[in-house]
A and B are shown apart, each in its own frame.
Chain A
Amino acid sequence: MKAKVVGQPVQRLEDLPLVTGRGRYAGDINFPGQLHMRVVRSSHAHGRIVSVDTSRARAAAGVAAVWTAADVAELRPIGLREGPDAQLDPYLQPILAGKRVRYVGEPVAVVFAEDPYRAEDAAELVEIEIEPLPPLMSAEDAPGEFDSERGTEPLVIRKGYGDVEAAFRHAHTVIELDLSIGRHSGVPMETRGAIGRYDAARDLLQMYGAAKVPHRTRDGIARVLGRDPAKLHLYEGHVGGGFGVRGEVYPEDVLVCLGALRLGRPVKWIEDRYEHLVATNHSRQQRHHARVAVDEQGRILALDDRFFHDQGAYPRTHGARVADLTTGMLPGPYQMPAYRVAAHYRLTNKTPAATYRSPGRYEGTFVRERLMDAVAARLGIDPVEVRRRNLIPKSSMPYRRELDAIGDEVVLDSGDYARLLDKALAGVGWDKLQSDLERRRAAGEAVGAGVAMFLEKSGLGPRDGAHATVDEEGGVEVLTGSASLGQGVETVMAQICADALGVDYRRIRVIHGQTDRIAKGIGAHASRATVMTGSAVHVAATRLRARAIEAAAGLMRVPPDALDIVDGKVVRKDSADAISMELADVAKSLSAEGRGAGLTAEGWFETDHMNYPYGVHIAVVKVDRETGGVRVERYLAAYDVGRAVNPMLIEGQLDGGLAQGLGGALLEEFEYDERGQPLSVTFADYLLPTVREMPMADIIISEDAPSPLNPLGIKGAGEGGVTAAGAAIAAAIDDAIGIPGAVTRLPVTPVRLKAILDRAADSASKQPPMNADRRR
């Protein structure tokens, strides 16, 4: 039997076109006669639209059309992905603003011209007169006016269980923290783009440049346009990263499709970077007032959190999902007898926000782990030890929390959290690290280490399906409703199919992102692809194998259980003399006249529960006390994925996630001035980490706790690199400067850290020096 390829770090199938410049990203796609679309955006954060004068723009050279809200008045706003929601539907963003603008960057008009240069020239000629209204720039301020009928707090999510009040009354110690996570987001290297094209002969509307959830996006656009979704096809080519922000339905996607329909020419739209930073979904910004009640051992009795989620100007297709995920995942891997959370979902005059890699968990992990560190400091318990005392033990799995996250009951399927903590500490050489850091501190360096633990979620259902077919040349095609954002989904699916079927993975073509090839699909997001699509592929390939063996058994006149498939050939398990049959020939015989559809099989996988990978991050930082600069010297991320299909790709995901998490911890922030003008509008202001800012992280991929919820035991790996980076780096900074609880706000910019140091120096100079007992 040939060696299995699941579990091997095999090279990706996707790469050759990408290293030779033959990728087909949205910007690379062109159709004859195409027009270029340019959006005219609000330059005010809040105001009433008095007039929009497009006359000069319409008269400009090369302009085919200019639309305003009046031209798209019949379009419904883009709805929520999960369906209508009475609380949020009144707040949905119009395709083009007609009465009010509510954020700088909001689409107000759109120009269609012969080339992008002239489209931009014409866009500058559109005159928008706005009567400014005071902008609401903080989610914690009292809610303001959304319109004459409603305010800017559409809903509050409340959850909880247990007797929180009693727990706080009887606690040995109560700690209260005020914590903020800064506004930042995915910012992929490719900006958004879409090309709409109408095939009048077949009454078929096509959109290129889809990503992440092509079927849902198709349905969302079809609903807005009032069109039968079967007559709208979306195509995904190469995609330059998504991280959650690409692939949802945005106004520009609708406009591109409508433009193609109405103007009778293909319409191409490519966002520029300035637009991206003000118009593509933001994320993360929350302010938490969190308290924890603990006993004298530091064990949690209750956690009570009230937070303000800064949604920006409108709900996006995710509705209140990010706030909801925060509430459901906040307890993390710890036992928690009582819990209460109130999430105030508030609208402000900023770019709308939605999901970004590890949504709700990056935020919640920062809050929870800061509380754990505070407990440790207050009670004089080692921060690692205090976590150990609170971890849910393996013996309690599956562990049901009286809680739900996005409608799924939180049932932790499997996990050995304590063991992963041990692995991480061993992996970094924790004890030696501590003595090294003490030695360096004694020599005057401000260096420190921090630990953070977290749960992730993956494998979001409810179901996924795949078709697997062997063609008459022996090649295998796996048709999925999945999507590629560059993460290697084709390779992973090919590996799974290869092992289940008995074929070399390099002979397998994986199709994804084409709504006309497969009727339904849930795309790739929420770390679901390997679990859901992978499981469906496994089922399909297993059935395909059985079908092939059954057919071959008939042709070879042996019982099916005497046969195996190795390297694309059906062989006898026992004989060396190998009478065998090529799968290609089995396929031919099955598609011969009258015998049916050939060698093909379908597989479905259903689940009503997410599964829960988990991890530990350890950061080592050096602080420059004079400048407030922080350097992350070392990093270790340990993550349990149940079963690793391709460890090389998993490590890549964790490395990439870490870069984003580090960015959010130290560098990245969407800032606004008091008038609501965005300040982070170029890559000179919005700072992404370069290779110099990154530690070359040590990654531990653990398979201690396969998920019992799918046939391969897989948990998704896409998000585990980012989740705890904010928390771990914050803890390390506190340790480096010797001030527990110093960091309460991300990102920790040099200016903010210097201010913390200056305040500490001021108060120290007013008191006799204290001997800070770091750990016992």
Chain B
Amino acid sequence: MKPAPFDYHAPKTLDEALAMLARVAPLEGRVLAGGQSLVPAMALRLAQPAHLVDINGVQGLDRLERDAGDLVIGARVRHAAFHRRVTDGPLGALLAQVARHVAHYPIRTRGTFCGSLANADPASEWCVVAATLDARMVAKSARGTRTLSAADFFQGAMTTALAADELLAEARLPELAPDTRFGFQEFSRRAGDFAIAMALATFRLEKGVMVQARLGVGGVEGRPRRIPEAESLLEGKRPGQETFRAAADAAARSVAPLDDSRYPAAYRRDLARAMTRRALEEAA
């Protein structure tokens, strides 16, 4: 399982990288960041890029800091960076909890947060986090910069709105209010496996009722998304079994699950329900 041949480029600056991408993208050029998804695909020869632009040496892509109410995550930031809380508030705690579900430790030392988003595997934990928290994705190319909402960014399984010559340079996660509660649940066959279904729930409590409720489901459909039908059943209600069950049912009804012989749609729907309810219970 050796990859097919490719030309290798290792730019040092962002401008160099974008210029290279502009040149090689039409020639099946790809970005190499962590490589933890790309290289296995290349080993199986499912991906045979003729050019790889290795961004691991590019200055300025390793931002991991707060900026204007967002947590800015640069393209080179590894999954392992989130093992410790990167912010004091709930966002840092949430990311640290989710990070433990991302593959395994030796994958996390190399794989990148932004790489996960750009890969858009339905089973990706960071993708459901980005979708649920309404992250904004900053795409750069030699043609300029644009910012995409999560809803626009994730288009389907393994498909994003990124053009071939665009690099996902950063992801911006809005900081969560200090009293935000969260819960994350995922079902996989073994520890560290691809998630078959995930749910992320966040809300605040004001006078005992849930406000700013967010409920995102991933793994079940081609792309992760917030489920407004579930959120509307939470907003303004007290946390409790009945409410959570209703929201979970709504989530299950809303999703149009992927369907294959291994994991039929009905099963994924049931998982969506279970993960949603458990994430809510955990948040409460």
**CB–CB B45/A690 < 8 A:** no
User: Which residue in B5, B40, B190, B267 is a CB contact (below 8 Å) of A687?
Assistant: B190
Interface size, chain A (Cβ < 8 Å): 26
Q: Answer yes or no: B262 CB below 8 A from chain A CBs.
A: yes
Extra inter-chain contacts (9) besides given A124-B45, A682-B44, A684-B193, CB under 8 Å: A272-B1, A273-B1, A627-B274, A667-B189, A671-B262, A687-B189, A687-B193, A690-B190, A751-B264
CB of A120 within 8 A of CB of B190, answer no
Evaluate contact between B191 and A684: CB separation under 8 angstroms: no
Q: Counting chain B CB atoms within 10 Å of each CB, which of A117, A121, A687, A750 scores highest? A: A750
Would you give the shortest CB distance from A693 to chain B, in whole angstroms?
A: 6
CA distance A682 to B40 in the complex (A): 10
Q: What 0/1 readout, one digit per residue, does chain A (733-771) give for beta carbons within 8 Å of chain B?
A: 000000000000000001100100000000000000000
B44, B190, B271: which contacts A689 (Cβ < 8 A)?
A: B190
Distance in angstroms from B238 CB to nearest chain A CB is: 23
Q: Which residues in window 247-283 of B have CB below 8 A to A?
A: 261-264, 267, 270-271, 273-274
Tell whether A71 is near chain B: CB-to-CB under 8 Å.
no
A274 interfacial contact with B, CB 8 Å: yes
Closest CB in chain A relative to B146 CB, distance in Å: 34
Q: Is B194 an interface residue (CB 8 A)?
A: yes
Cβ of A692 and Cβ of B4 under 8 Å apart?
A: no
Tell me, rounded to whole Å, the shortest Cβ–Cβ distance linking B97 to chain A: 17
Q: Is the CB of B270 within 8 A of A121?
A: no
When distances are taken between beta carbons in the complex, the residues of chain A under 8 Å from B44 are 274, 682
A629 at the interface (CB under 8 A from B): yes
Check: A116 CB closer than 8 A to any chain B CB.
Answer: yes
Q: Tell whether, in the assembled complex, residue A750 and residue B189 are in contact, meaning their CB atoms are under 8 Å apart.
A: yes
Q: Is the CB of B274 within 8 A of A690?
A: no
Q: Is A626 an interface residue (CB 8 A)?
A: yes
B270's partner among A272, A626, A682, A692 (CB-CB below 8 A) is A626
Interface check B192, CB cutoff 8 A: yes
Question: What would 19 A/B residue contacts be, using CB atoms closer than 8 Å?
Answer: A116-B2, A117-B2, A120-B1, A626-B271, A626-B273, A626-B274, A627-B187, A627-B270, A627-B271, A667-B190, A682-B40, A684-B194, A687-B189, A687-B190, A690-B190, A690-B191, A693-B191, A751-B264, A751-B267
A617 to chain B, nearest CB (A): 22
Number of interface residues of B (CB under 8 A): 23
Please indicate the chain B residues that have their CB under 8 angstroms from the CB of A627 in the complex: 187, 270-271, 274
The 6 closest A-B pairs by CB, nearest first: A692-B191, A626-B274, A272-B1, A117-B2, A120-B2, A627-B187
Q: For residues 685 through 709 of chain A, which have their beta carbon under 8 Å from a beta carbon of chain B?
A: 687, 689-690, 692-693
Contact between chains at A274 and B189 (CB < 8 Å): no
Task: Please name all residues of chain B whose beta carbon is closer than 8 Å to the beta carbon of A272 when the two chains form the complex.
Answer: 1
> For residue B261, which residues in chain A have a CB less than 8 angstroms away from its CB?
671, 673, 679
Which A-chain residue is minimally distant from B278 (CB atoms)? Answer: A626
A120 to B5, CA, bound (A): 11
The distance in angstroms between the C-alpha atoms of A121 and B262, with both chains bound, is 32
A124 CA to B45 CA, complexed, in Å: 10
Contact with A along B26-55 (1 / 0, CB 8 A): 000000000000001000110000000000
B194 close to A754 (CB less than 8 A): no
Q: How many Å lie between the Cα of A750 and that of B197 in the bound state?
A: 13
Q: Give the residue name and chain of the B residue nearest to A674 (CB).
A: B261
Q: How far is the CA of A116 from the CA of B2 in the complex (A)?
A: 8
How far is A751 from B266 in the complex, measured between Cα atoms in Å? 10
Residues of A within 8 A of B264 (CB): 751
For window 179-205 of B, CB contacts with A under 8 Å fall at 187, 189-194
Question: In the bound complex, how far is the Cα of B194 from the Cα of A682, in angstroms?
Answer: 13
CB of A138, distance to nearest CB on chain B (Å): 15
Report Cα–Cα, A117/B2, bound state, in Å. Answer: 6
CB distance from A357 to the nearest CB of B (A): 21
Chain A contacts for B45, CB-based, 8 A: 124
Whether A693 lies near B2 (C-beta < 8 A) is no
Q: How many Å from the CB of B11 to the closest CB on chain A?
A: 25
* Distance between Cα atoms of A689 and B2 in the complex (Å): 26
Residues in B with CB closer than 8 Å to A754 are 267, 270
Which of B4, B40, B192 touches A690 (beta carbons < 8 Å)? B192
- Could you tell me if A629 and B194 are in contact, using CB atoms closer than 8 angstroms? no
Neighbouring A residues of B40 by C-beta, 8 Å: 682
What is the minimal beta-carbon distance from B217 to any residue of chain A, in angstroms?
15
Nearest residue, chain B, Cβ from A117: B2
**B191 surroundings in chain A (CB, below 8 A):** 690, 692-693
Q: A274 touching B1 by the CB < 8 A rule?
A: yes
CB distance from B79 to the nearest CB of A (A): 18
Q: With A and B bound together, what is the CA distance between A8 and B187 in angstroms?
A: 44
Contacts of B2 in A (CB 8 A): 116-117, 120
B239 to chain A, nearest CB (A): 20
Task: Bits for B66-103, please: 1 = Cβ < 8 Å to A, else 0.
Answer: 00000000000000000000000000000000000000
**What residue of chain B has the Cβ atom nearest to residue A672's Cβ?**
B261
How far is B262's CA from A272's CA once the two chains are assembled, in angstroms? 25
A303 CB → nearest B CB, Å: 34
Which residue in chain B gives the minimum CB-CB distance to A275?
Answer: B1
CA distance A272 to B192 in the complex (A): 23
Tell whether, in the assembled complex, residue A121 and residue B4 are in contact, meaning their CB atoms are under 8 Å apart: yes
- Complex alpha-carbon distance, A629 and B267, angstroms: 12
A121 vs B263: C-alpha distance when bound (angstroms): 34
Bound complex: CA of A756 vs CA of B113, how far in Å?
Answer: 39
Residues of chain B with a CB closer than 8 A to A679's CB: 261-262
The residues in A between 620 and 645 inclusive whose CB is less than 8 angstroms from any CB of B are: 626-629
Q: Chain A contacts of B192 at CB under 8 A? A: 690
Q: Give A358 to B255 CA distance when docked, in angstroms.
A: 45
**Shortest distance from the beta carbon of A320 to any chain B beta carbon, whole Å:** 30
Interfacial chain B residues near A690, Cβ < 8 Å: 190-192
B213-251: which have CB < 8 Å to A? none
CA distance A629 to B194 in the complex (A): 15
Taking CB atoms, residues of chain B closer than 8 Å to A687 are 189-190, 193
CA distance A121 to B45 in the complex (A): 10
CA distance A754 to B262 in the complex (A): 13
Give A667 to B191 CA distance when docked, in angstroms. 12
A274-B44, A687-B189 given; A121·B5 CB < 8 A: yes
Q: In the assembly, what is the distance between CA of A121 and CA of B193, in Å?
A: 31
Q: How far is the CA of A280 from the CA of B265 in the complex (A)?
A: 33
| Beta-carbon contact of B187 and A692 below 8 Å | no
Among B5, B190, B263, B274, which residue has its beta carbon within 8 angstroms of that of A751?
Answer: B263
Q: How far is the CB of B149 from chain A (nearest CB, A)?
A: 31
Q: Which residues of A contact B189 (CB under 8 A)?
A: 667, 687, 750
Give A689 Cβ to nearest chain B Cβ, in Å: 7
Taken together as a complex, chains A and B put the C-alpha atoms of A381 and B3 apart, in Å, by 60
Q: Which of A629, A673, A682, A693 contacts B187 (CB 8 A)?
A: A629
| Residues of A contacting B190 in the complex (Cβ-Cβ under 8 angstroms) | 667, 687, 689-690, 692-693
Q: Which residues of chain A have C-beta atoms less than 8 A from B271's C-beta?
A: 626-627
A117 — which chain B residues lie within 8 A by C-beta? 2
**Is there an interface contact between A751 and B262, defined as CB atoms closer than 8 Å?**
yes
Residue numbers in A under 8 Å from B262 (CB-CB): 671, 679, 751
Closest to A683 in B: B40
**How far, in Å, is B102 (CB) from chain A's closest CB?**
15
A629 to B275, CA, bound (A): 13
In the complex, A273→B190 CA distance in Å?
Answer: 20
State in angstroms the CA–CA spacing of A272 and B194 once bound together.
23
A117→B193 CA distance, assembly (Å)? 29
Q: How far is the CA of A629 from the CA of B278 in the complex (A)?
A: 15
A446 to chain B, nearest CB (A): 14
B5 contacts which chain A residues (CB < 8 A)? Answer: 121
Most buried by A among B2, B4, B5, B271: B2
Q: Beta-carbon contacts of B52-63 to A below 8 Å, as 1s and 0s?
A: 000000000000
- Give chain A residues whose Cβ lies under 8 Å from the Cβ of B267: 628, 750-751, 754
